[in-house]
Chain A
Amino acid sequence: MQLLNNANYNFLRWKWHAIALSALVILGGLGMIVTRGMPLGIDFSGGTLIIVQFDQPTTEAQVRNAVAPLPGEEVVQQYGDASERRLLIRLPQVEGAVEGNSLEQGSAAVEQALMKAGLSNPTIVNRELVSAVIGADLQRRGIYATIASLLAITVYIGIRFRFSFAVGAIAATLHDVFVTLAFLVFFGYDLSLNVVAAILTITGYSVNDTIVIFDRVRENLRSRRREPLDKIVNESVNQTLSRTIITAGTTFLSVLSIFLFGGEALRGFAFTMLVGIVSGTYSTIFIASAIAIILSGGKARAASATSSSGDVVQGGKKQKRAKAS
């Protein structure tokens, strides 16, 4: 069975359209982040998050009224299925509260407010209290980990491929990170630790796809040195197309099962992964090779493009391959 028989699409023809579309999404997302700020989960902003289970059906409005007198802006959401009668209550970090038992203040105030409102037997099933110190610390580590991972992957690809390809792969990965952030903002998901974990996974995954194509480009370059680089790249994208789509499709399906059945706690994580997978596949096909071509000087001949730095790497690769087989 064959998904795509001798696929031969001219993807590179669409490179400027693709870059424009991506720029639009990314700029839109960044615009929203700059004007409204990236919505941070309590992992990074600090604050109080409580999940309360009620005996009787209780509406968001009832709980919102009960906690309204508390300082700061409260968020009240249904948690999971309505039949579970669970509500999530989130309070911001209390200003200037660092000492002693202040971490518990918000939570205790919510409990009192719920009791006072006479809501049916609230039980706290989950409680997260994060101080500003820890929030700032995790923020720092999140940014550090993302940058370090991008750098380390750049270095690795720089060693294994020639420079313009490494730039293409990293541009595609950065693209995926920003598109994912944009979609998180569009759909109102908070940036939590789990979401950052998903973004880091996306950086690895997105590079995966790109590497498969670049490996094929390198292989084709060796046997067909006289042909233009852009033709070879386009053919390589086509040759690996069915693999790209099948892999993305199956990974998408398995992550979709987390999104659908994995429960409320993993929803943000799964959403981030879903966006990342789609964006990763798109950027692999349209962005990564386009940038590599643009950086290599457009229609340069394959032979001249490889001669500078490519040969050394290829030599090393040939040796390794001989050992492996």
Chain B
Amino acid sequence: MKDIRWRLILIAAVIGLSIWSFYPPQTKIKLGLDLKGGVHLVLRVHTDDALRVETETTVERLRDSMQRAGVQFTKADVVSATEFRVEGIQDDSGFRTAAADADTNYDRASETSGYSYRMKPNIVNQLRDQTVTQALETIERRVNELGVAEPIVARYSGADQILVQLPGVSDVRRAKEIIRSTAQLKLTLVEQGPFPNRESALQAFNNTVPSDVEILPGRQEGGGTAGTAGTVFYALKRVAAVTGRDLRDAKQSLDEFNRPAVQFSLKQDAAGRFGNFTQTNIGKPMAIVLDNRVMSVATIQGRITDSGQITGINRDEMIDTVITLKSGALPASMDYLEERTVGPSLGAESIRAGFFASLAGLGFVVLFMVFYYKLTGLNAVISIVANLVILLGLMAFLSSVMTLPGIAGFILTIGMGVDSNVLIFERIKEELATARGARAAVNAGFDRVWWTIVDTHVSSLIAALLLLQFGTSTIRGFAVTLIIGLLSNVFTAVFVSRTAFELILSRRQTAAQTLSI
């Protein structure tokens, strides 16, 4: 009797804790995107971009140090994102000293009168990994600027994939643009241009553009209102004087004609560099390039140190540009691999349908158990309801997400609870037939099925655990519900139900011979 009292206290404590943990469910149970509405995005980071930048910078630095050391060479060119080649070297030892820096990240191989370089595999992996991490951090900052509640930004299955989940976002298009915009800001010299089209720009270089020049589109200057101007092309210096990394801050402002503009300022070291750059290039045209688009071109009037302005944009562009510039540039471009958008109305309907289906399922089961097992059926009902309460409690406690398939997992948990209870009850019935008395039958029933219950639950758990590796949150929701349901079912179907049986039996004065089952 004392034993039963402790067991009852334990059960009451578990149930109480569970209810406390998930009550009130509206705020404590987290809903997945398919129920709440929102967007699920998977992006791929083009890590090759970052490798190419690294190789380009290395070549640029190498040219510089060779020129300073007076080493003769005919060519130093980027071959691919991870390779470059230096040709026509006369003074080999002089070159080796000048190019010592390149050896830390690149493997060098001799060629006739030159060398080819290939990025070391571990450096490649490290750079790729770093790029994805940087992209992830940048996206996090942007999503926070967007003001989304409880967003998820995480690495996804592939090495170069990022998962973004934005609950309750209505303007999906804008969110996608802001996340993906590389926000690569460059201030660079204009070599030639503007040209009316890309072809004429190419012709200016006899169709062979030097490796340090690139041709980019831009808006035609001079048109008073934005939007009326056509597209023109500029030939620009590839290496920028200032990039997005050098930014200290960006904020909304107005240009001299009271049109929307973005005011940015530079970090201290960049400001010094920019000062020298503008000083030596007075009178030359300089372009402000954002995401490979020339935003504006102006002639350098004098030394500029620490600030500039992006003009020729509309109000919305201004707001979004400030967000992306402030959150920093993405180290590489990205594209979308997957998008799943659920409107909030559809989600609410799914909740209603799922809730109703759960109630109907539970109703079926309760009716059947009470009809078939009479009063003892109530034991099963108690243990199944206890199971659902514990399941909800643990889900709230572990802050796991309730999804639409998760609701199906709920209903399956009801089914599993019935399974275990029926298994036990049928066994007790059989044992009662051998007429050893109700108490002995109950004990034998529970003991004999214990290992069967363990076996069945382990095999279901195996299947559920393997479901977890599907990255989509909806399926994970299902798997988590199933796993928690299975574990708590062992407790309720065996421990809670047995305690209920023993409570009934202990109320009787004499050892009962019968049990209504």
Which positions in A face B, CB cutoff 8 Å? 1-3, 51, 98-101, 103-104, 123-131, 133-134, 137-138, 141-142, 145, 148-149, 152-153, 156-157, 160, 193-194, 197, 200-201, 203-205, 207-208, 211-212, 215, 219, 239-240, 242-243, 246-247, 249-251, 253-255, 257-258, 260-263, 265-266, 269-270, 273, 317, 320-321, 324-325
Q: What are 9 A-B contacts defined by CB distance under 8 Å? A: A124-B341, A193-B474, A215-B451, A246-B372, A250-B365, A253-B365, A263-B357, A266-B353, A266-B357
Could you tell me which residues of chain B, from 428 to 481, have a CB within 8 Å of some CB in chain A? 429-430, 443, 447-448, 450-452, 455-456, 458-464, 466-467, 469-470, 472, 474-475, 478-479
Tell me whether A255 and B412 are in contact (CB under 8 A): yes
Tell me whether B462 and A254 are in contact (CB under 8 A): no
B346 within 8 A of A: yes
Tell me whether B346 and A125 are in contact (CB under 8 A): yes
Binding stretch for chain A, among B59-67, B267-275, B305-313, B402-410: B402-410
| Assembled-state Cα–Cα distance A126/B426 (Å) | 47
Q: Within the complex, which residue of B408, B429, B447, B463 is in contact with A200, where a contact is CB–CB below 8 Å?
A: B463
Tell me whether B364 and A211 are in contact (CB under 8 A): no
Tell me whether A134 and B368 are in contact (CB under 8 A): no
Tell me whether B462 and A128 are in contact (CB under 8 A): no
Q: Mark B333-375, 1 if CB is under 8 A from A, else 0.
A: 0011111111101100110011011101110110011001110
Tell me whether A134 and B467 are in contact (CB under 8 A): no
* Chain A, residue nearest B333 (CB): A100
* Chain A, residue nearest B368 (CB): A250
B419 within 8 A of A: yes
- Those 6 A-B pairs whose CB atoms lie nearest each other, nearest first: A204-B463, A263-B353, A254-B361, A204-B460, A251-B415, A125-B343
Tell me whether A247 and B422 are in contact (CB under 8 A): yes
| Assembled-state Cα–Cα distance A59/B224 (Å) | 48
Q: B443 — which chain A residues lie within 8 A by C-beta? A: 325
* Chain A, residue nearest B358 (CB): A257
Q: B361 — which chain A residues lie within 8 A by C-beta? A: 253-255, 257-258
Tell me whether A134 and B338 are in contact (CB under 8 A): yes
Q: Within the complex, which residue of A215, A249, A262 is in contact with B408, where a contact is CB–CB below 8 Å?
A: A262
Q: Do A100 and B408 form a contact, CB below 8 Å, given A200-B463, A251-B415, A263-B349?
A: no
* Chain A, residue nearest B444 (CB): A325
| Assembled-state Cα–Cα distance A101/B181 (Å) | 12
| Assembled-state Cα–Cα distance A137/B337 (Å) | 11
Tell me whether A156 and B346 are in contact (CB under 8 A): no
Q: B475 — which chain A residues lie within 8 A by C-beta? A: 193-194, 197
Q: A262 — which chain B residues lie within 8 A by C-beta? A: 353-354, 357, 407-408
| Apart from A251-B415, A251-B418, A263-B357, 19 more pairs, CB < 8 Å | A99-B335, A103-B335, A103-B336, A127-B172, A131-B338, A194-B475, A197-B475, A200-B467, A201-B460, A204-B464, A215-B451, A246-B422, A246-B426, A250-B422, A251-B416, A254-B415, A254-B418, A255-B412, A263-B404
* Chain A, residue nearest B468 (CB): A145
| Assembled-state Cα–Cα distance A128/B428 (Å) | 51
B496 within 8 A of A: no
Tell me whether B157 and A215 are in contact (CB under 8 A): no
* Chain B, residue nearest A250 (CB): B418
B423 within 8 A of A: yes
| Assembled-state Cα–Cα distance A66/B443 (Å) | 69
Chain B nearest Cβ from A9, distance in angstroms = 17
Tell me whether B470 and A324 are in contact (CB under 8 A): no
Tell me whether A261 and B470 are in contact (CB under 8 A): no
Give the residue among A98, A103, A123 with the most B Cβ atoms within 10 A.
A103
Q: Within the complex, which residue of A203, A208, A239 is in contact with B430, where a contact is CB–CB below 8 Å?
A: A239
Tell me whether A266 and B463 are in contact (CB under 8 A): no
Tell me whether B364 and A320 are in contact (CB under 8 A): no
Tell me whether A156 and B459 are in contact (CB under 8 A): yes
Q: B98 — which chain A residues lie within 8 A by C-beta? A: none
| Assembled-state Cα–Cα distance A197/B450 (Å) | 28
| Assembled-state Cα–Cα distance A149/B464 (Å) | 9
Chain B nearest Cβ from A312, distance in angstroms = 16
* Chain B, residue nearest A108 (CB): B173
B411 within 8 A of A: yes
Q: A99 — which chain B residues lie within 8 A by C-beta? A: 335
Tell me whether A145 and B469 are in contact (CB under 8 A): yes
| Assembled-state Cα–Cα distance A321/B427 (Å) | 16
| Assembled-state Cα–Cα distance A207/B472 (Å) | 26
| Secondary structure type dominating chain B contacts | helix
* Chain A, residue nearest B448 (CB): A219
Q: Within the complex, which residue of B356, B430, B459, B482 is in contact with A207, where a contact is CB–CB below 8 Å?
A: B459
Tell me whether A321 and B451 are in contact (CB under 8 A): yes
Give the residue among A130, A201, A205, A240 with the most B Cβ atoms within 10 A.
A201
Tell me whether B342 and A126 are in contact (CB under 8 A): yes
Q: A258 — which chain B residues lie within 8 A by C-beta? A: 357, 361, 408, 411
Chain A nearest Cβ from B159, distance in angstroms = 12
Q: B34 — which chain A residues lie within 8 A by C-beta? A: 265
Tell me whether A103 and B337 are in contact (CB under 8 A): yes
Chain B nearest Cβ from A234, distance in angstroms = 17
B190 within 8 A of A: no
B44 within 8 A of A: yes
Q: A1 — which chain B residues lie within 8 A by C-beta? A: 372-374
Give the residue among B357, B427, B459, B466 with the most A Cβ atoms within 10 A.
B459
Q: Mark B374-386, 1 if CB is under 8 A from A, else 0.
A: 1000000000000
* Chain A, residue nearest B450 (CB): A324
Q: A240 — which chain B residues lie within 8 A by C-beta? A: 426
Tell me whether B405 and A134 are in contact (CB under 8 A): no
Tell me whether B422 and A324 are in contact (CB under 8 A): no
Chain A nearest Cβ from B454, distance in angstroms = 9
Tell me whether B470 and A257 are in contact (CB under 8 A): no
Tell me whether B415 and A133 are in contact (CB under 8 A): no
Tell me whether B337 and A133 are in contact (CB under 8 A): yes
Tell me whether A211 and B340 are in contact (CB under 8 A): no
Tell me whether B426 and A243 are in contact (CB under 8 A): yes
B392 within 8 A of A: no
B414 within 8 A of A: yes
Q: Do A153 and B339 form a contact, CB below 8 Å, given A193-B470, A262-B354?
A: no
Tell me whether B338 and A257 are in contact (CB under 8 A): no
Chain B nearest Cβ from A84, distance in angstroms = 9
B24 within 8 A of A: no
Tell me whether B451 and A137 are in contact (CB under 8 A): no
Tell me whether B426 and A130 are in contact (CB under 8 A): no
Q: Do A212 and B456 form a contact, CB below 8 Å, given A197-B478, A250-B364?
A: yes
| Assembled-state Cα–Cα distance A127/B458 (Å) | 37
| Assembled-state Cα–Cα distance A142/B172 (Å) | 29
Chain B nearest Cβ from A121, distance in angstroms = 14
Q: Mark B495-511, 1 if CB is under 8 A from A, else 0.
A: 00000000000000000
Q: Within the complex, which residue of B337, B362, B478, B482 is in contact with A134, where a contact is CB–CB below 8 Å?
A: B337
Chain B nearest Cβ from A236, distance in angstroms = 12
Tell me whether B463 and A149 are in contact (CB under 8 A): yes
B287 within 8 A of A: no
